[in-house]
Amino acid sequence: MAIEQTLILCKPDAVARGLVGEIVARFERRGYVVAALKLLVCDRARAEQHYAEHKGKPFYEGLVSFITSGPLLALVVAGAGAIDGCRSTIGATDPIKAAPGSIRGDYAQTIGRNLVHGSDSLDAAGREIPIWFEPSEIVGRRNDLEHWIVAS
Ligand code: IDP
Ligand code: MG
């Protein structure tokens, strides 16, 4: 299984509700490693870049307004199959449909306040990570991560 990096955002609702420790712990307990992490307030330009695929959809303005509404925690999380693995730990987009045991299934109620973002493909991760992090802010390049991972 390839070692992958994925972009995770603990959105402003996660920070406001004091859930970032719980959320990050779930990725760590699964064996993924935090390769980069920062707390920031996302401005509109970055939000539009990040959510470009959703421009024009009915929920787009609300989404941009929400993601820029307060501090969020951005992370690069790395590990074997981390892109799909983190998506399954996060759970379905609509918390009503998210399985109990997933982050959204355990802590969220509505699709507009679903706590976490995770890249949904290798292409998305490759596009999204540079929107949030400089290469120098990411610790451990993909090929160096193997020895951190206690898995096979
Ligand atoms: P994802 O976060 O599970 O990848 P996407 O379809 O990429 O889901 O949508 C991005 C974000 O936009 C979602 O996490 C959610 O916060 C918001 N969103 C998606 N669909 C809706 C909707 O129908 N109403 C309100 N917000 C939505
Ligand atoms: Mg998405």
- Measure Cα distances from 23 to 67, 86, 96, 150 in Å: 17, 11, 18, 20
Active site residues: 117
pLDDT, tens only, 31-48? 999 999 999 999 999 999
Of the candidates 9, 15, 2, the one whose C-alpha atom is nearest the C-alpha of residue 120 is 9
**Which secondary-structure segment (H or E) carries 44?**
helix 44-50
- Token readout for 79 is 């590990």
- Do the Cβ atoms of 34 and 75 come closer than 8 Å? yes
Tell me the backbone φ, ψ of residue 120, rounded to 5 degrees. Answer: -105, 0
Ligand with an atom nearest the CA of residue 111: 1
- Triad 92, 45, 134: Cα angle to 5°: 80
3-state secondary structure of 55: coil
Q: What are phi and psi of 141, to 5 degrees?
A: -75, 165
Q: Ligand 2: distance of its center to the CA of 94 in Å?
A: 12
Residues 64-91 pLDDT 10s: 999 999 999 999 999 999 999 999 999 9
Give the pLDDT score at 1: 82
Residue 151 in this model has a pLDDT that exceeds 60: no
Confidence at 145, pLDDT banded by 50, 70, 90: low
152 C-alpha to center of ligand 1: Å? 33
- Closest atom of ligand 1 relative to the 51 alpha carbon: 10
| DSSP bridge pairs for 77 | 6, 34
Regarding the beta carbon of 90 and ligand 1, being less than 6 Å apart is answered no
pTM of this prediction?
0.94
Number of Cβ within a 10 Å radius of residue 92: 16
Residue 6 forms beta bridges with which residues?
77
| Distance from Cα 93 to the centre of ligand 1, integer Å | 6
CB atoms within 10 A of CB 137: 14
Q: Is 74 in the pocket of ligand 1 (CB under 6 A)?
A: no
